[in-house]
Amino acid sequence: MANYNKVGEKNEARVELHDALNLTGAEVSINVLPAGASVPFVHAHKQNEEIYGVLEGEGFAEIDGERVPLAAGDWLRISPAAKRRFFASEKSAIKYICIQVKENSLEEYTGEDAVIG
């Protein structure tokens, strides 16, 4: 049995990778909003912070009533309780990755968690 899982990116509006990769510590999705479109709901979380990376295009996030501009190359972390909604700009689609992890769960990272050899 392999110690890894691999999937190819699908050309869909939203691709959730939790089941496809058998993730046990995070939820990851790739999202595409066409120009002028938005996520159709406001949401928050009970425990999970979200990290967003804008891969292509531009738009904005509305977080607790504040408008935060977003463009390719931007990264954004949002606390669980914050109410959020995402919008593509009127002239450009936006493609972003969303990584959901339990807030305050990271104990070791990078070199501290690595086993060499």
- Per-residue model confidence as pLDDT tens digits over 57-105: 999 999 999 999 999 999 999 999 999 999 999 999 999 999 999 998 8
- pLDDT, residue 62, reads 98
| Distance of alpha carbon 114 from alpha carbon 17, whole angstroms | 24
Q: What is the number of structural domains in the chain? A: 1
Is residue 78 within 8 Å of residue 50, measured between CB atoms? yes
Domain with 53 in it: what CATH number? 2.60.120.10
Q: Answer yes or no: is 16 within a domain.
A: no
pTM value surpassing 0.75: yes
**Element (H or E) spanning 19, and its range?**
helix 18-21
Q: Answer yes or no: is 108 within a domain.
A: no
> Is residue 115 very low, low, confident or very high in pLDDT (cuts 50, 70, 90)?
confident
Please report, rounded to a whole number, the percentage of residues in the chain having pLDDT higher than 70: 99
- pLDDT, residue 1, reads 56
Q: Answer yes or no: is 88 within a domain.
A: yes
Question: Closest Cα partner for 51 from 75, 20, 19?
Answer: 75
The first and second tokens of residue 31, run together, are 């999202």
**Pairing relation of β-strands 27-33 and 66-71?**
unpaired
